[in-house]
């Protein structure tokens, strides 16, 4: 389809592997391209070259070749000598000597990944957008139901005699909330993905996640503290309210401290990273862009940390600190393409808060 904006190729019936190879060839030719699901759009002036590439991957003529002399046949004209995606498999590249394929192969080069998604988001490849594109409704409904389940569980606990700020109430509310988030993630990958939580970036933690995670935690803490310090300077004293701490005042027992530590340092990093950076950010990347997804999920992450009873200043400081942390966690998820570094950063971030809280009690 040719429009004023350029030429569009509708490739919805292509496999993910075929679209990936086309994207690699287009990028190697330095052709400005934009993917939207299975649709590839290029400038009108690049149409002839992309037509050749599409034809090659469709099994017809190769780039620069004719239909009766496909790319790779002896004497057939082709692109300059270089490494190209291997037409025989999807995991290696093969050397084209300018006239024919050679026997030399090498592993496919890793994709260059900046620390922050660029404006022209090359990360939105067609095969990425094919997974979880329809998971937004599941994420929204799942979060609402998780909140309802958490509130209901807390109210039942209070009705049975538990204190509103006790460790038991905290644990019950957190478990109900996490159960809702986890089930929404499972449902999303089953309905719109492959059925595995790997679709959300959940892979076993490794030592390679520790360094980036700890560094991300420090960056998040420093940036969040700077934002909080600025707000403390500019907001009037009367805009602060009473403490909204979840625990009763007074030094907790060892058992209570362990429960709080497990909730805040272990449970929250796992389930919140899986939901916000795995499901929410993953869906947004496929709907808008990686850059916008990182920012939007961070804002949503900050908003959900609002607690009833917060004064204006408390809301501003909490939202700014948590949103900054969400930005750092979202960047880690985008850059490393897995949840491990973010889980480590989230745990370290929360551990600092827990230690400081217990020291001042």
Digit-coded pLDDT (tens) for 56-65: 666 543 343 3
Digit-coded pLDDT (tens) for 255-281: 777 777 788 889 999 999 999 999 999
Any idea what DSSP says for residue 173? H
Dihedrals φ, ψ of 119, to 5°?
-65, -45
| Residue 31 pLDDT exceeds 50 | yes
Encode 38-101 in three state secondary structure: CEEEECHHHHHHHHHHHHHHCCCCCCCCECCECCCCCCCCCCCCEEEECCCCCCEEEEECCCCE
Find tokens 């190879």 and name the residue: 21
- For residue 195, which of 208, 184, 182, 186 has the smallest C-alpha distance? 186
pLDDT at 223: 92
Which residues are paired to 206 by β-bridges? none
| Residue 243 pLDDT exceeds 60 | no
Dihedrals φ, ψ of 175, to 5°?
-65, -40
């Amino acid at each position: 389809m040719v429009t004023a904006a350029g030429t569009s190729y509708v490739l919805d019936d292509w496999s993910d592997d075929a679209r990936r190879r086309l994207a690699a060839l287009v990028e190697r030719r330095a052709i400005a391209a934009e993917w939207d699901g299975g649709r590839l759009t290029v400038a009108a002036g690049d149409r002839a070259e992309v037509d050749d590439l599409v034809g090659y991957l469709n099994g017809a003529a190769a780039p620069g070749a004719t239909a009766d002399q496909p790319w790779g046949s002896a004497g057939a004209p082709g692109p300059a000598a270089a490494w190209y995606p291997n037409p025989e498999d999807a995991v290696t590249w093969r050397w084209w000597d300018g006239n024919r394929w050679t026997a030399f192969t090498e592993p496919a080069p890793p994709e260059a990944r900046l620390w922050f998604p660029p404006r022209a988001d090359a990360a939105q490849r067609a095969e990425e957008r094919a997974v979880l594109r329809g998971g937004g409704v599941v994420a929204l409904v799942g979060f609402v139901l998780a909140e309802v389940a958490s509130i209901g569980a807390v109210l039942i606990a209070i009705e049975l005699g538990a204190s509103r700020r006790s460790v038991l109430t905290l644990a019950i509310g957190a478990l109900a909330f996490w159960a809702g988030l986890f089930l929404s993630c499972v449902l999303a990958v089953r309905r719109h993905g492959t059925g595995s939580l790997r679709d959300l970036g959940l892979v076993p933690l490794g030592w390679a996640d520790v360094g980036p995670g700890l560094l991300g935690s420090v960056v998040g803490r420093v940036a969040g503290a700077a934002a909080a310090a600025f707000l403390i300077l500019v907001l009037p004293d009367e805009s602060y309210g009473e403490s909204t701490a979840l625990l009763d005042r007074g030094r907790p027992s060892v058992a209570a401290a362990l429960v709080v530590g497990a909730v805040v340092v272990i449970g929250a990093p796992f389930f919140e990273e899986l939901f916000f950076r795995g499901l929410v950010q993953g869906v947004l990347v496929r709907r808008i862009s990686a850059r916008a997804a990182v920012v939007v999920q961070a804002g949503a992450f900050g908003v959900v940390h609002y607690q009833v009873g917060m004064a204006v200043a408390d809301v501003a400081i909490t939202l700014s600190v948590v949103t900054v942390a969400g930005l750092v966690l979202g960047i880690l998820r985008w850059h490393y393409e897995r949840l491990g570094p973010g889980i480590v950063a989230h745990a370290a971030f929360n551990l600092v808060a827990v230690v400081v809280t217990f020291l001042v009690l």
